[in-house]
Structure 1
């Protein structure tokens, strides 16, 4: 049970969905941000952006967000959850591009502290072909997920344990986007 009464059935509106519904005045811009960062017209592929969200959420130990964005990434990747699990376990050994690996190193630094993003990390990402926009977007996705993870866990929201819930949610988000999920 959430720390506050969100006025919703937590099994129907688990994780971030309950607080977004509870406070539409803040929920709407948060959904817009998620839509822009994860599905909008950015140069990084949507699957890579979802992997960044899942990776950071895993580092933050946010069960709901990690499970949700892992499922979203898996639904977009030919390799599915196997690749997501490998990335989450260790981006250094996962079978991903060197550019994505470098961007995940930046995302991990952001998760620890924005000040952990060093010139060396940025230069390494550039060396692997990352543009300044992709570096910017990676930092923003990682920072936004640190905020959302703390929002979800700080309110003590319910996280379903059944992977089927996240698979169904992934199909819905892929078909209608984030704006239409609450």
Structure 2
């Protein structure tokens, strides 16, 4: 049960509907980080968000971003699970593995990122922009995870709900998806 009187919406959607003036910039940030043109694909960026959310043990964020990542990656839920649990053995590029090392260190404490970590990512072809965005995705998702969990939001456990929402967000983006049906959400998304 949420710590405050939030709208009956799952995860971050409840607090965003509670305080829409803060949801706008939060949605715009995630839209830029995860969907705007980049040399990292939307699927790769969603994997970074999922990895950080899993390390933060945020059920809602790792589930929804894992579902969005899978939607971008031809439904490959096994790959998403492997990135969350064993990224070194995941079928992802060496560059993404090096970026996940950086993201993992940011998740614990940004000061843990070393020059050697940056050099390792560069040696795998990571650009300064990709390194920048990886750090910002990791930092932002620590904030989003703590926002969701710090208010004890509703976090459904039915993977079907996440798959359907994940496909919609992958198709329409964050700003459009979070504006859709906020006042009157579909019954299948308003669950406990």
* Fold conserved between structures, TM > 0.5: yes
TM-score tier (shorter) = over 0.9
State whether structure 2 residue 16 is matched by structure 1 residue 15.
no
- Distance, in Å, in 2 between the alignment partners of 1:54 and 1:99 is 17
Q: Output the TM-score relative to the length of structure 2.
A: 0.90
- Counterpart of 1:173 (choices 169, 184, 190) is 169
Structure 1 residue aligned with 2:34, among 34, 38, 41?
38
Q: How far apart, in 1, do the equivalents of 2:146 and 2:159 lie?
A: 22
Q: CA deviation at 1:181?
A: 2.3
Displacement, 1:42?
2.0
Partner of 2:5: 5
Question: After superposition, where does 1:45-124 map in structure 2 within 5 Å?
Answer: 45-78=41-74, 80-124=76-120
Number of aligned residues: 178
Taking only aligned residues, the RMSD between alpha carbons, in angstroms, comes to 0.9
Q: Runs of 4+ in structure 1 displaced over 6 angstroms?
A: none
3-state DSSP of counterpart to 2:155: coil
Contact 2:10 2:156 survives alignment (8 Å): yes
Instruction: Show CA shifts across 1:65-113 (max 9, x none).
Output: 0000111111111360011111111111112110000000000000010
In structure 1, C-alpha distance between the alignment counterparts of 2:173 and 2:135, rounded to whole Å: 22
